[in-house]
Amino acid sequence: MEEEVRELMELSGFDYNESQLLDTDMDYERPNVETIKCVVVGDNAVGKTRLICARACNATLTQYQLLATHVPTVWAIDQYRVCQEVLERSRDVVDDVSVSLRLWDTFGDHHKDRRFAYGRSDVVVLCFSIANPNSLQHVQTMWYPEIKHFCPRAPVILVGCQLDLRYADLEAVNRARRPLARPIRPQEILPPESGREVAKELGIPYYETSVVAQCGIKEVFDNAIRSALISRRHLQFWKSHLRSVRKPLPQAPFLPPRPPPPVIIVPDPPVQSEDDPGHLLEEASCADVVLVVQERTRIFAHRIYLSTASSKFCDLFLMEDGDPPSQARDPLLRASSFDACEGSGETEGAGMRTSASDGTLGREGDRDLSGWSRAFESIRSGVMEEPPGYSARRVTVVKMDSSVRPGPFRAVLKYLYTGRLDEREPELMEVAHIAELLEVFDLRMMVANILNREAFMNQEITRAFHVRRSNRIKECLTKGIFSDVTFVLDDGSITAHKPLLISGCDWMSAMFGGPFLESSTTEVVLPYTSRGSMRAVLEYLYTGQFTAGPDLDPLDLIILANRLCLPHLVALTEKHTVSVMTDASMNNKDIDGEAVMLLEAAQFHGAHQLAAWCLHHISTNYNRVCRKFPREIKLVAPENQQTMEAQRWPPVWYLKEEDHFQRAEREREKEMALHQKRQPKRRWLFWNSSGAGSPASSSSAVG
């Protein structure tokens, strides 16, 4: 028994070894101190021993410790003789009366003999668990008759233990319980009215406690002491210091802590393969550039990818569009200056827009580029009707220098698309030669690293490549450079780039990469879409990052992202929306109306995390929201209304308990006021009778 007590004390942080031990034969009762024997009874595993240890040892245990361990009936009365700290904690002052509370633990088995514990008891604390309806039923059928049989004059207090289970997450509680323990079901949790009705039938006070929340422990034992002292005052009426003891006081209800809001979890972004967007290379469906190598090899490419990876291609396509090179010298779009080439770009810019109408690719209007760059021979504009079934569209035809070979050039293009170079490339020197012609200096450095057997350094070059490309693509989106499609929206239009859309979104890939009208048109109408939402989607598809502009409507963006099948963007928008609403709430701004408006719209458009957060906000501010938006709350779906009722804070049982407590307090105040009115009259009659009797006594003495 002593080893079990020591184990429980060590678990709760009680220093058993360093406590001062007393002589077992000493008399621990002190003069002018009322010693109260309190017997604690109840079914097994209702929390009797935990309650005793919380009072006698100040044992504060976590819910996990309480659920993972069970110490059946370890508290013995001998602890008051052997442990100084336990003895000191037993002393208390209640209503100006010094007491020493001695707690007795008992077995919960019904067939055990407990008469040794009931002997000379001053008060009995009858416990049951609010998560076990059978334990409350046994209070009436077994425990109360047993108490009245062995100690009929002792007052009884009914205590509902494990109050924390009324608002706890029962799924987490059942997972933390012992493997063989019976799971707790929500319908088994007893409301406070059940315990109070039983206590009213028995004519005894009722209280509730929780060792986890450390609530109700002092109230239970203080009122148990009051009941014992009142009973003792009736039997030992000469003890005048017991006259100030009050009746057991009503217990103030315990307000459970506000449940924390759900955490918005952003999943990992979609995993892209190493060749993405390399799979678009040589794909004719959305190509707007045809690179002709050695007269007979045609390679399909895309202006946006070539321009953001190579400053030489950027200048070439800007001149093809009619812009002078001086305007193309943006630091985000160019890696170096090409002042020596400005003259040729300005003089012959008008001759590059001719196209042929006979055949797949036109053969007229070639512009000689041999004097501008050693990498190119000519450039012209043509019309392409590939692949079969697609509408004809205008493309830029670039003829490469005769020294450029198809194999190494494809390796260079793959680098321009993906930022990677295969170490097993057989013609590295040719790759380096083409990189020098195109002034792609990072690729030359990667080739040198591979030749020097330092290929591990290429990873850093690849990371830097993607950072530069992301910045350049964002700049292209801002300025509309190299765009090939325009989205017509409700409040304007915005330009975009089909290859980037196809690479970042399956929905866009199906629309622009298939044999649909949108694949060849330059204007696409998107109804019910705003510019702010579309711009956020484009920045996400281009850079993989979420940027909230000043004109962004989160709900519009969620609707658009859900239409485009972008769950990662939906989660990012949810997190941003919750962050904005949380900041507004902390700044004392009203967000109740916004939460009500977003609730079902978010559920309908797949933003379930945002809907759960709004549902939590409404539930934890249920009374205020219902007063402000009664009609909107009535129109909410029945499932949401059930969730609000189940998760509302403060809970319904607390509001009922608060109302009952206020009524009990008013009745107690009336009784105290009536008692104070009667008390002066009695004193006046006492002194009046004594004053009237004194002359009579004096006259009789004279006579």
Is the preceding peptide bond at 527 cis, omega within 30 degrees of 0?
Answer: no
Parts of the chain with a pLDDT under 70 = 1-31, 59-83, 180, 238, 272-276, 278, 321-365, 385-391, 679-703
Pairing state between β 156-161 and 376-384: unpaired
Q: How far is CA 214 from the centre of its chain?
A: 26
Give 460: exposed, middle or buried? Use CB within 10 Å, 0-12, 13-18, 19+: exposed
How far from 99 is each of 30, 37, 66, 226, 616, CA to CA, in Å? 10, 10, 30, 10, 47
CA angle 203, 207, 210 (to 5 degrees): 155
Cβ contact 617:587 at 8 Å: no
Instruction: Pull the structure tokens for residue 620.
Output: 């934890």
Cβ contact 324:315 at 8 Å: no
pLDDT of residue 484: 86
Q: Where are the beta strands (DSSP E) in 206-302?
A: 206-208, 289-293, 297-301
Distance CA 403, CA 434 (A): 9
pLDDT of residue 82: 55
Q: Where are the beta strands (DSSP E) in 44-136?
A: 91-94, 97-104, 123-129
Cβ contact 305:499 at 8 Å: yes
Contacts of 393 (CB under 8 A, 6+ apart): 288, 383, 384, 520
| Percent of all residues in the chain with a pLDDT value above 70, rounded to a whole number | 80
**Residue 493 forms beta bridges with which residues?**
488
Instruction: Pull the structure tokens for residue 128.
Output: 């049951």
pTM for the structure as a whole: 0.75
pLDDT of residue 696: 42
pLDDT of residue 71: 52
Q: What is the set of domains in the chain, with CATH numbers?
A: 2-242 (3.40.50.300), 280-474 (3.30.710.10), 483-552 (3.30.710.10), 558-671 (no CATH)
Q: Which of 128, 169, 192 minimizes the C-alpha distance to 658?
A: 192
Q: Where are the beta strands (DSSP E) in 69-176?
A: 91-94, 97-104, 123-129, 156-161
Instruction: Pull the structure tokens for residue 380.
Output: 């012209």
